[in-house]
Amino acid sequence: MSSVLPVVAASALLLAAVLLVVPGGVRGRLRVVARPVGVGHAGSATTVPRLLGARRRPGAARRSTTSLFGVVLLVAAVLAVAVAGPVGGGAVLAYGIAGRRAYSRRSRARADDTIRALGAVALAGLADDLRAGRTPLAALHAAVAALERGPVTPPVATALAAIRSAVVRHPPGDVVAALRAVPGPLAPALHRLAAAWTLTDCGIPLAEVVGQLDVELRRLGRMRERAAARTASARTTARLVAGLPILGLGLGQLLGAQPYAVLTGTTAGAACAAVAIALHLTGFWLADRLGRVVVE
């Protein structure tokens, strides 16, 4: 019984480390509300979703969570070393770090999807305002102000502020250059908007061009959703297959083959465990990478 308790404690600490990076309750949940982008002359308001709590110093919260995760993971690794030797400690560190990185990638992907949705809706609002007779600069200012209330990163926020500054300046600044300077997931939409903005010099109505751009971006969004749906089953299968080695170890232990003692108590077993962990994590990474490439 005494040898089981450290294993349970190490497992509990590793679970706690994973839970530290998972948003709990309402605090870390994506919540969308309707915010006005602009109101045309007809009086109809367009709306844009916003992430609540996005302005609450997300960088500081991430740093605090990462520090806590590191401390808990280190303690769990020390306990694993005490129980299972270097193999156990290395496994805890490897899977803990890999899990943290995978969660960070998925969090960034979810945030990027939210920002893309913000850009698409803001662009639709811009087109509606232009059709309603609002001036291009005023409509763009309203759309950018709505985007700034979303969960944008500091570089994107700086670029959006530059767009607003160019719009409100007298005379107006280089709006096209400011739109093209926006990085991140908003770049495709705003770079296309910059190209559309240049067409106004040729006398082409901006409202029609922005309307066509809105249709194109919505089509691309639907294509991404379909691609994500098609790869969901493959990703699930990859996760299930990746869990089979752990199931095999458990069955071998129950049948009396003692794979745990071989892997943690012999040099050859430790080498096999290191190779197996490396291949296991590589399989996880490849499955996730292939899914992301298809969607992108």
* Local confidence band at 37 (pLDDT 50, 70, 90 cut-offs): very low
Which residue in the block uniquely carries the two structure tokens 């006005």? 36
Could you tell me the two tokens for 253?
A: 């232990």
Distance CA 40, CA 173 (A): 24
Domain extent, residue 88, equals: 4-295
pLDDT tens column, 244-256: 888 888 888 888 8
CB of 65 closer than 8 Å to CB of 57:
no
Q: Which residue has the higher pLDDT, 223 or 48?
A: 223
CB of 46 closer than 8 Å to CB of 56:
no
* Alpha-carbon distances of 170 from 146, 157, 165, 173, 178, rounded to whole Å: 22, 22, 10, 8, 16
Task: Identify the pLDDT of residue 294.
Answer: 62
Q: Averaged over 82-103, what is the pLDDT? A: 86
Quick count: other Cβ atoms within 10 Å of Cβ 249? Answer: 16
Angle 206-242/58-131 helices, nearest 10 degrees? 140
**44-53, 70-79, 210-219: lowest mean pLDDT where?**
44-53
Distance CA 258, CA 271 (A): 17
Q: Which residue has the higher pLDDT, 291 or 170?
A: 291
Task: Identify the pLDDT of residue 50.
Answer: 39
pLDDT tens column, 187-229: 888 888 888 888 776 777 788 888 888 888 888 888 888 887 8
pLDDT tens column, 123-140: 888 888 888 888 888 888
- Structural domain count, the chain: 1
286 burial type by CB count under 10 A (0-12 exposed, 13-18 middle, 19+ buried): exposed
Q: Averaged over 103-110, what is the pLDDT? A: 84
Compute CA 291 distance to the chain's CA centroid, rounded to the nearest angstrom. 14
Task: Identify the pLDDT of residue 173.
Answer: 66
* Local confidence band at 290 (pLDDT 50, 70, 90 cut-offs): confident
Compute CA 163 distance to the chain's CA centroid, rounded to the nearest angstrom. 25
Q: Partners of 39 in the beta sheet?
A: 45
Q: What radius of gyration do the chain's Cα atoms show?
A: 25
Q: Where are the beta strands (DSSP E) in 236-288?
A: none
| Residues in Cβ contact with 236 at an 8 Å cutoff, skipping those fewer than 6 apart | none
